[in-house]
C-alpha cells in the first residue's frame, strides 16, 4: 500500500512537522508553509497526475478564505464548521469552473481557468462583505470542537499540521488508487483512455473538484491562522506562486510540492524586507531556471540521482 521509500518520507515529514516548532522556528511562519504546502499538493494532483495546468487555483484558495472568515466572524460559526463550509464552497466553485474548463485542453485550459479566476477576483472586489482592499480582518480563532483553544499558537500549529497531514494523505491515497491510475493514463494518452471506455471528462472533473476543495481547505486554514482573508490570496499572483512551488519541488512527485512550498515561502520571508520588489524578479528567475534546466524539480532530481546511484550499485 505504501512503498518502503514513501514510508520513510512520511516518517521524516511527521517527525519534522511535530518537532519543528520546538526548535524555535516561528510557528506562524511554519503554519503558513503548511497551508501553502497543502495548496501546492492539491494543485499537483491536477497538473502532476491528470496533466491539467490550472492557472486559476488562487480562486479556490481565496474564496474559501473569505467564506471561512465570514462564517466564523459574522455568523459566529465554530472553526471546524467554518473550514467545512469553506471547503464545500471551494468544491462547488471547482465543479463550476471544472465543468467549463475541461471543455478545452492544454493551453486553452490554462487560459480559461485564469480568466475565470480573474472574474471571481473582480467579484470579491465589488462584494460588500469582503471589505474590498482592506480584506476581512479580525477573524476570531475560537475553539476547535469546543475544546481546543486555538488562540494558543502551539495548539493552532498542531491543528494546522493535522489538517495538512489529512489532506496530504488523502491526495496520496487518491493518486495511488485505481482512480489515480486512470488519471495518469489520461495524462499519458487521452484518446487511448477514452477508447478503453473511461469517461475521461468525468475523471478530469472529479480530479478538478477534489483539487479545488483541498485548495479551499488550505485557504480557509490560512484565514484561521492570520485571522485575515484578503484579495492577495485570490489574485493571479497567488495562482502563479502555487505553480512555481509545484514546479520547483517537482511536478508529479508526492513530496515535491511540500519542499517547493517551504523553499518559496522561506525565500519570500527572507528576502521581502531586504530586497523589496526584487522578490518578484527572483521568483520569475526561478521559474525560468526551472523550465529551462531543472524540469524535474528538487525532489524529481533527487529521485533521479538516487535511481542512478542505485543502478550503479547493481
Partner 1 sequence: MFEFLGITPQALYSQLLVGLINGSFYAVLSLGLAVIFGMLNIINFAHGAQYMMGAFIAWMGLTQLGGWLGDSTLQINYWAMLLIAPLLTAAIGIAIERTMLSRLYKLDHLYGLLLTFGLALIIEGLFRYFYGVSGQPYEIPEVLQGALNLGFMFLPKYRAWVIVASLSVCFATWYMIERTKLGSYLRAGTENPRLVQAFGINVPLMITLTYGFGVALAAFAGVLAAPIFTVSPLMGADLIIVVFAVVVIGGMGSILGSIVTGLGLGLIEGLTKVFYSEASAVVIFVIMVIVLLVRPAGLFGRER
Is residue 291 close enough to count as binding partner 1 by CB under 8 A?
A: yes
Find the farthest-apart pair of alpha carbons in the chain and give their distance in angstroms, rounded.
65
Is residue 107 close enough to count as binding partner 1 by CB under 8 A?
A: yes
> For partner 1, which residue of 292, 309, 311, 314 counts as binding (CB under 8 A)?
292
Q: Which residues between 250 and 279 bind partner 1 (CB under 8 A)?
A: 276-279
Q: Taking the complex as a whole, how short is the minimal distance between the CB of residue 110 and partner 1, in angstroms?
A: 6
Q: Rounded CA gap, 287 and 301, in Å?
A: 16
- Compare residues 68 and 264 and give the one whose CB is closer to partner 1: 264
Is residue 247 close enough to count as binding partner 1 by CB under 8 A?
A: yes
* Binding mask of the shown chain, residues 44 to 63, with x at each position contacting partner 1 by CB under 8 A: ---------x-x--------
Is residue 306 close enough to count as binding partner 1 by CB under 8 A?
A: no
Q: Taking the complex as a whole, how short is the minimal distance between the CB of residue 284 and partner 1, in angstroms?
A: 3
> For partner 1, which residue of 108, 166, 173, 270 counts as binding (CB under 8 A)?
108
Residues 6+ apart with CB under 8 A from 134: none
Q: Rounded CA gap, 17 and 299, in Å?
A: 18
289: exposed, middle or buried (C-beta count within 10 Å: 0-12, 13-18, 19+)?
A: exposed
Q: Rounded CA gap, 214 and 170, in Å?
A: 9
> For partner 1, which residue of 285, 304, 305, 306 counts as binding (CB under 8 A)?
285
Q: Taking the complex as a whole, how short is the minimal distance between the CB of residue 22 and partner 1, in angstroms?
A: 36
Q: Taking the complex as a whole, how short is the minimal distance between the CB of residue 276 and partner 1, in angstroms?
A: 7
Is residue 217 close enough to count as binding partner 1 by CB under 8 A?
A: no
- Compare residues 19 and 123 and give the one whose CB is closer to partner 1: 123
Q: Taking the complex as a whole, how short is the minimal distance between the CB of residue 220 and partner 1, in angstroms?
A: 24
Q: Taking the complex as a whole, how short is the minimal distance between the CB of residue 304 and partner 1, in angstroms?
A: 17
| Residues that bind partner 1 in the complex, under the rule CB under 8 A | 53, 55, 100, 103-104, 106-108, 110-112, 114-116, 118-119, 122-123, 126, 236, 240, 243, 247, 276-281, 283-288, 290-292, 295
Amino acid at each position: 500500500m505504501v512503498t518502503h521509500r514513501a514510508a520513510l518520507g512520511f516518517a521524516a515529514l511527521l517527525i519534522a512537522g511535530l518537532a519543528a516548532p520546538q526548535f524555535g522556528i516561528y510557528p506562524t511562519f511554519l503554519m503558513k508553509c503548511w497551508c501553502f504546502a497543502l495548496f501546492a499538493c492539491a494543485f499537483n494532483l491536477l497538473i502532476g497526475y491528470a496533466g491539467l495546468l490550472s492557472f486559476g487555483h488562487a480562486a479556490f484558495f481565496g474564496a474559501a478564505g473569505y467564506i471561512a472568515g465570514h462564517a466564523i466572524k459574522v455568523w459566529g460559526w465554530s472553526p471546524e464548521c467554518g473550514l467545512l463550509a469553506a471547503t464545500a464552497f471551494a468544491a462547488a466553485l471547482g465543479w463550476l469552473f471544472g465543468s467549463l474548463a475541461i471543455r478545452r485542453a492544454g493551453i486553452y485550459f490554462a487560459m480559461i481557468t485564469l480568466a475565470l479566476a480573474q472574474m471571481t477576483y473582480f467579484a470579491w472586489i465589488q462584494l460588500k462583505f469582503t471589505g474590498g482592499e482592506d480584506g476581512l480582518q479580525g477573524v476570531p480563532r475560537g475553539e476547535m470542537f469546543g475544546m481546543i483553544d486555538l488562540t494558543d499558537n502551539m495548539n493552532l500549529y498542531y491543528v494546522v499540521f493535522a489538517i495538512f497531514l489529512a489532506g496530504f494523505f488523502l491526495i496520496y491515497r487518491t493518486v495511488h488508487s485505481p482512480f489515480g491510475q486512470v488519471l495518469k493514463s489520461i495524462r499519458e494518452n487521452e484518446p487511448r483512455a477514452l477508447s478503453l471506455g473511461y469517461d475521461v471528462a468525468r475523471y478530469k472533473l472529479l480530479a478538478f473538484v477534489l483539487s479545488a476543495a483541498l485548495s479551499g481547505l488550505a485557504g480557509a486554514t490560512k484565514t484561521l491562522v492570520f485571522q485575515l482573508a484578503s484579495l492577495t490570496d485570490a489574485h493571479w499572483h497567488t495562482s502563479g506562486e502555487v505553480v512555481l512551488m509545484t514546479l520547483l519541488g517537482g511536478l508529479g512527485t508526492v513530496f515535491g510540492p511540500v519542499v517547493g512550498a517551504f523553499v518559496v515561502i522561506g525565500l519570500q520571508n527572507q528576502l521581502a524586507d531586504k530586497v523589496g520588489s526584487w522578490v518578484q524578479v527572483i521568483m520569475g528567475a526561478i521559474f525560468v531556471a526551472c523550465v529551462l534546466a531543472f524540469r524535474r524539480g528538487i525532489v524529481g532530481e533527487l529521485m533521479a540521482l538516487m535511481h542512478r546511484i542505485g543502478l550503479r550499485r547493481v
